[in-house]
Amino acid sequence: MGANKIAGRILSDDIKLKIKKLLAVKQNRRMLQWKKQTEPYCRNLYPGGINLIGDISAETGLGQSVRILASIMEKSGIPFCVKQINSHGTLTHNDEAWAKKVEASVKYAVNLIHIIPGTWAKDYCGLEKEVLDKRYNIAYWLWELEEFPDYWLPCIQTVDEIWTPSEFISNALRKKTKKPVVTVPYAIDMENRKERGKETDIEGYFQRKYFGLPEEKFLFLTMYDFISVSERKNPQAVIEAYVRAFPKEKKDAGLVIKVNHVEEKKLAQLKERLKEYQNIYFITENMTRKEVDSLMNAADVLVSLHRSEGFGLPVAEAMALGKPVISTNWSATAEFTDEECACPVDYKLVQIRKTAGPYEKGNYWAEADVEHAAQYMRRLWEDREYAHRIGTNAKNYMDRHLTYEYAADIIKDRLKAINGQGK
């Protein structure tokens, strides 16, 4: 085992964060020097359109975010090309849906750079000078707390403006900069992602049998990725809610736990907690987009008792599939969930007691009311008419609000403003 892996296991998260901040100082210095060498935006030098820069082939939430932005631009007729950058290291890169749009070089006036703030300094320095020169540079950032970390603030100096998918993130950034911060939400369209084929049903999704799941049970689904910091996703709360809602012998309900990029020790702890339950199903294999969509479609309810979300793609996508969702009523998901179209769970804001990944102790996030979540689980299981109504309302909300047209109009207005043509 390498020294870095050993050190990673021994060092506390607080010490890791201190080291990360020290490295950030060095990276920020290099980043700002690189910024000084680039030439400012020159209007009308390049054709109007967007160079979408990001890890568009990665089978991660961040990769999916890039692909959604590409879909918005393609379906709305905004000229764009893709510059693929590998910001996920050795993680899976098998999604080739946008390979046709990937270019060796950029060609439009505006760069939309989809790199998270945590790796921005390093990845920004990896961009060629000709990519950045004389172009209008926009960062598309994701973040999950009300406070944007101060040690990331130098990254703002490298861009002309910032876009985010939610007002929750935008408000965190507006407190730290006077540069334009614009909310460009995701468009959630599950219909255009469906495809029929072997082992799928008439609607184009894989069936429960494909995943080894029972046909007769009412299934709750929770999904999280260990690289997204499991403390934030909070799967333990979902498990606790399920345990409270249903006794061990309950045979017609079940919980499906989909885990990406497994950390074996943490997974073993979860399994140990649930060893006496027969109706809990773990899925740990890496999945294609079609498989993930199918798994959500195969479930009856999606549960996300997150402590915070910058958007909450699984929640929104499950709603677009017509599924009831149980979700913590705080952060970005609260922007599109209410009692008419979802099951919003009460919470208390609590101080983070131990640093977890980039989420520093002393900040605040939400602690979902587990008993309230358990009540929603029981009600959805008992009252199928209620479950159907919530799912139908959820789909209707997504079809009306989180659309390509809405997001595209925001983008088009900003492009006009950047070129001095309007807003």
- 416 Cβ partners below 8 Å, 6+ apart? 422, 423
Superfamily of domain 191-401: Glycogen Phosphorylase B; (3.40.50.2000)
* Tokens of residue 154, six digits: 């130098």
Residue 242 burial (CB count, 10 A): 25
CATH of domain 23-187+404-418: 3.40.50
* Tokens of residue 12, six digits: 């506390």
Q: Which of 185-199, 342-356, 367-381, 399-413 has the lowest mean pLDDT?
A: 185-199
| 50 beta partners | 80, 110
Task: Report the number of secondary-structure helices (H) and strands (E) in the chain.
Answer: 15, 14
d(C-alpha 326, C-alpha 315), whole Å = 8
185 touches 272 (CB < 8 A): no
Q: Do domains 23-187+404-418 and 191-401 have the same CATH topology?
A: yes
Pairing mode of beta strands 325-328, 253-260? unpaired
Q: Is the pLDDT of residue 5 over 50?
A: no
Residues 52-83 pLDDT 10s? 999 999 888 899 999 999 999 999 999 999 99
Percent of residues, the chain, with pLDDT higher than 70: 91
- 268 Cβ partners below 8 Å, 6+ apart? none
Residues 94-117 pLDDT 10s? 677 898 899 989 999 999 999 999
d(C-alpha 286, C-alpha 259), whole Å = 9
- The helix or strand, by DSSP H or E, that contains position 316, with its residue range, turns out to be helix 313-320
Q: Provide the pLDDT for residue 93.
A: 65
| 328 beta partners | 345
* Tokens of residue 344, six digits: 């919003």
Residues 210-245 pLDDT 10s? 999 999 999 999 998 776 688 999 999 999 999 999
Q: Provide the pLDDT for residue 107.
A: 94
Q: Is the pLDDT of residue 346 over 80?
A: yes
- Measured in whole angstroms, the distance separating CA 271 from the mean position of its chain's CA atoms is 25
How large is the angle between the packed helices 235-245 and 264-273, nearest 10 degrees?
10
* Sheet of 280-283, strands arranged across: 280-283, 253-260, 218-225, 301-304, 325-328, 343-345
d(C-alpha 224, C-alpha 233), whole Å = 6
Q: Provide the pLDDT for residue 251.
A: 78
Residues 250-262 pLDDT 10s? 779 999 999 987 8
d(C-alpha 380, C-alpha 392), whole Å = 13
- The helix or strand, by DSSP H or E, that contains position 29, with its residue range, turns out to be helix 13-37
Task: Tell me the average pLDDT of the chain.
Answer: 91
Compute the radius of gyration of the chain from its Cα atoms: 22
Once rounded to an integer, what is the mean pLDDT over residues 191-208?
71
363 touches 351 (CB < 8 A): yes
Supply φ then ψ for residue 55, to 5 degrees.
-95, 75
The residue extents of the domains of the chain are: 23-187+404-418, 191-401
Measured at the CA of 239, the angle between CA 288 and CA 246, to 5 degrees, comes to: 115
- pTM, 2 dp: 0.91
